[in-house]
Chain A
Amino acid sequence: MKNNSPRQLISQTPLAILLWVIFLVGFVPGISGASTVQAAEGTGVETRIAPVGRVQVEGQPIVEVEVTAADAAETELIAAPRPSRKDYPNIGVSSRAVVWILAQMHLFFGALVLAVPLFVLVIELTGMITGDDRYDDMAHEFMKISLVGFSLTAIIGGSLALALFMLYPDFMAYMMRVFGAQWLVYAGLFFLESFFLYTYYYGWNAFRYGNKKWLHLTLGLMLNASGMTIMVLANSWATFMMAPSGVNEVGAVVGNIWEVMKGPLWNPINLHRFIANIAFGGAVVGAYAAFKFLSTRDPALRAHYDWMGYTSNFIAILAFLPLPFAGYWLMAEIYAYSQQMGITAMGGILAWLFIVQAVLIGTILLAGNFYLWSGMSRTEGSVRYQWLIKYIAATLVICFLIWVTPHTLILSAREIAALGGSHHHILGPLGIMPAKNIAVNLMLIATFLSFQIYRRSDKVATVSWAPAGNALIVAIYVVAVANIIFAGVYYGYFTNTLYKVGSSVIQVVSTLVVIITGIVIDSLIFKNAKTLPSHWGRIPDRAQYALFALPIAFTWLMGLMGYVRSSVKTHWHVYTVMKDNSPDNFIPTIGYAGNMITIVTVLFLLMVLFMFWVANLGSTRQPEASADGGATV
């Protein structure tokens, strides 16, 4: 393998530089556009979240729009359509159910194929820096798995578009008018993404070493740039429907495309989906590695797929750790935009779904931790840390039980009398947010501790100050946990609401301090550390089932929270500006939604199995038939 310094390679690759410039000029401003505009305005939260077009809130007087004669002459303002029931085609089955399934499937596959190239690029770069071809091979195999996913995403996306135009023609006509030429940009990006996808995948071995590797990495970067731009454009449609901006109170477009896109929920959704996609993508390819691990007895292949499974789990859980914080920001922005919308999500009919969410997240964390603990058997050095596992497990289980404790129960009169009220006198306090905030943060810290001891298992520190560094880490863990419990209990139960909400930031910051300082101090302690041998492939088979549990829980969780996000609009296509008058203009019951989410999850997992099968098919060769009809090898 030829090696050149990165600086030398960059300077010798004009095409690579050109592509980098295109990326920096074209993509970065696109992503950061909203925040740049917001920063330039230099306004507070209330101004920033206020839609450009004023929104009429039900029960409040209509705000008069001041349109000058010049404005009126310049722009013809067309209000949003007001379709009646007969304007919605009746195809004999629920239109919403059809669109629900297609949209959710498109989102699942879209998340997968946008996420995989992100970490593939990082793994490929790691391989180039370390000179270890195993990284390169693993990255290539990850891409091979997701390649079929691109076709499935496009097919389902096309079907979704057709279904929307057929079943919701007025709504789609309105969206076309609001977003205008952005749709063409969106379509154009697909061509760009396809170009980079195929050149990136099929050029893997052609551009493998030396200067050409930089060209290949640049292709990967451009693939991600076009993919991420597609994602943020599509996100703007969803957030426009939830919190419209750039339109007036009757839905007429009064702002430019940036003002339409930069709604208050756009960036929170962008961040949340970006992180969640990576976690989801890691979980799905982890299942592939587990499937391959279990289906072979070849020690070399088992070692390879064990390493691949570990890497996938690492990606999934590491991306998952900050996800609750991104979700918290999204919900805070939803509350800031419309308290009614926030209460519908977390205090009304949908509130119970957050208990189901807790069960799913608990499943993900327990499975992820179990896999890490099982993986510690790969190295003898893990015996130093195994005593900690039972305490981590106890913390996870106790916190999980607190998180799933509901605040209100559906009770009969007799049960209420037996209970002495609608809330249990001991468990009742565990049903509210302060207790759950403590539980979530402690679960995240416990999971990070599992990561940390796993990473330490095959290393022996050689720096003289290692005991002092360890003491510092222990102190940070102990004080952070005490701080999280103190903030949750004291401000959550004994002060006013403002301090209760504000204290959750203390908890988040404490958790982040543990994670960041843990990584930094460990990297310093284990600099030039003695490395103990790791035996890849030496892991119990049962650990692989944890890798199967992760994508199932992630998929169901994404379906569930997608239902919540979409339902908070209640009976509006576009919140407060275009009413939904179709027969399905109500929030479906939780039982019905549960069935729908399960159907979509099963469908997706079946298609993922198909994807794995096709990926496997490419490397399978039928033995040549011999003259007597038997196979020759």
Chain B
Amino acid sequence: MNQETKMGPAATLVATVIAFVVVVAVFYGLDHFVMSIQGLPLNADLTPAG
């Protein structure tokens, strides 16, 4: 019942690392966007800029 996959362990590891990097970047941008549209800007380190 395992997934019928054509990806090897190395490719899966690379995919996992890339996935985490992309998702972290997306959520970082999302935090800035969501707070800024409420008039609550953030600094690059996510501390309040207001």
Residues of A that sit less than 8 Å from B by CB: 380-381, 383-384, 460-462, 464-468, 470-472, 474-476, 478-480, 483, 487, 490-491, 495-496, 498-499, 502-503, 505-506, 509-510, 513, 530, 532
Instruction: Quote the shortest CB–CB distance from B6 to chain A (angstroms).
Output: 4
Ordered nearest first, which 8 A-B pairs have the shortest CB separation?
A468-B15, A471-B16, A475-B19, A464-B6, A475-B23, A467-B12, A472-B19, A502-B40
Contact (A487, B12) CB under 8 Å given A460-B1, A460-B3 = no
Q: Is the CB of A503 within 8 A of B35?
A: yes
A535 to B11, CA, bound (A): 36
24 contacts between A and B (CB under 8 A): A383-B1, A384-B1, A460-B3, A461-B4, A464-B5, A464-B7, A466-B5, A468-B7, A468-B11, A471-B16, A471-B19, A474-B19, A475-B20, A479-B20, A483-B27, A490-B46, A495-B48, A499-B40, A502-B35, A502-B38, A506-B35, A509-B30, A513-B30, A530-B4
B48 / chain A contacts, CB cutoff of 8 Å: 491, 495-496, 499
A177 to B1, CA, bound (A): 68
A498 to B48, CA, bound (A): 10
Residues of B that sit less than 8 Å from A by CB: 1-7, 11-12, 15-16, 19-20, 22-24, 27, 30-31, 34-35, 38, 40, 46-48, 50
A184 to B15, CA, bound (A): 63
Which of B7, B24, B38 contacts A467, CB < 8 Å?
Answer: B7
B11 / chain A contacts, CB cutoff of 8 Å: 467-468
Q: Is the CB of A509 within 8 A of B34?
A: yes
Which of A471, A505, A513, A532 contacts B12, CB < 8 Å?
Answer: A471
Instruction: Quote the shortest CB–CB distance from A442 to chain B (angstroms).
Output: 16
Instruction: Quote the shortest CB–CB distance from B33 to chain A (angstroms).
Output: 9
Which of A478, A483, A530 contacts B31, CB < 8 Å?
Answer: A483
Q: Is the CB of A510 within 8 A of B27?
A: yes
Known: A495-B48, A506-B34. 11 other contacts (CB 8 A): A380-B1, A461-B3, A464-B5, A464-B6, A466-B3, A468-B7, A475-B23, A479-B27, A487-B31, A505-B34, A530-B4
B40 / chain A contacts, CB cutoff of 8 Å: 498-499, 502
A380 to B2, CA, bound (A): 12
With a 10 A CB-CB cut-off, give which of A471, A476, A487 has the most chain B CB atoms: A471
Q: Is the CB of A532 within 8 A of B1?
A: yes
A475 to B47, CA, bound (A): 24
B46 / chain A contacts, CB cutoff of 8 Å: 490
With a 10 A CB-CB cut-off, give which of A384, A503, A532 has the most chain B CB atoms: A503
The chain B residue with its CB closest to the CB of A461 is B3
A509 / chain B contacts, CB cutoff of 8 Å: 30, 34
Instruction: Quote the shortest CB–CB distance from A239 to chain B (angstroms).
Output: 25
A471 / chain B contacts, CB cutoff of 8 Å: 12, 15-16, 19
Which of A475, A499, A502 contacts B16, CB < 8 Å?
Answer: A475
B27 / chain A contacts, CB cutoff of 8 Å: 479-480, 483, 510, 513
B4 / chain A contacts, CB cutoff of 8 Å: 460-462, 466, 530
With a 10 A CB-CB cut-off, give which of A381, A468, A483, A490 has the most chain B CB atoms: A468
Q: Is the CB of A505 within 8 A of B16?
A: no
With a 10 A CB-CB cut-off, give which of B7, B46, B48 has the most chain A CB atoms: B48
With a 10 A CB-CB cut-off, give which of A381, A466, A480, A496 has the most chain B CB atoms: A466
A498 / chain B contacts, CB cutoff of 8 Å: 40, 50
Q: Is the CB of B15 within 8 A of A467?
A: yes
Which of A467, A487, A532 contacts B3, CB < 8 Å?
Answer: A467
A483 to B24, CA, bound (A): 9
Instruction: Quote the shortest CB–CB distance from B27 to chain A (angstroms).
Output: 5
Instruction: Quote the shortest CB–CB distance from A513 to chain B (angstroms).
Output: 7
A370 to B47, CA, bound (A): 40
Instruction: Quote the shortest CB–CB distance from A590 to chain B (angstroms).
Output: 34
Which of B2, B7, B16, B34 contacts A465, CB < 8 Å?
Answer: B7
A383 to B2, CA, bound (A): 11
A499 / chain B contacts, CB cutoff of 8 Å: 35, 40, 48, 50
A470 / chain B contacts, CB cutoff of 8 Å: 3
Instruction: Quote the shortest CB–CB distance from B14 to chain A (angstroms).
Output: 9
A495 / chain B contacts, CB cutoff of 8 Å: 47-48
The chain A residue with its CB closest to the CB of B15 is A468
Instruction: Quote the shortest CB–CB distance from B22 to chain A (angstroms).
Output: 8
With a 10 A CB-CB cut-off, give which of B12, B19, B46, B47 has the most chain A CB atoms: B19
A276 to B6, CA, bound (A): 44
A506 to B36, CA, bound (A): 11
A244 to B37, CA, bound (A): 30
A462 to B3, CA, bound (A): 7
A479 / chain B contacts, CB cutoff of 8 Å: 20, 23-24, 27
B2 / chain A contacts, CB cutoff of 8 Å: 384, 460
A461 to B3, CA, bound (A): 5
Instruction: Quote the shortest CB–CB distance from B17 to chain A (angstroms).
Output: 9
B3 / chain A contacts, CB cutoff of 8 Å: 460-461, 466-467, 470
A466 to B15, CA, bound (A): 11
Instruction: Quote the shortest CB–CB distance from A86 to chain B (angstroms).
Output: 51
The chain B residue with its CB closest to the CB of A462 is B4
Contact (A506, B31) CB under 8 Å given A460-B1, A461-B3, A495-B48 = yes
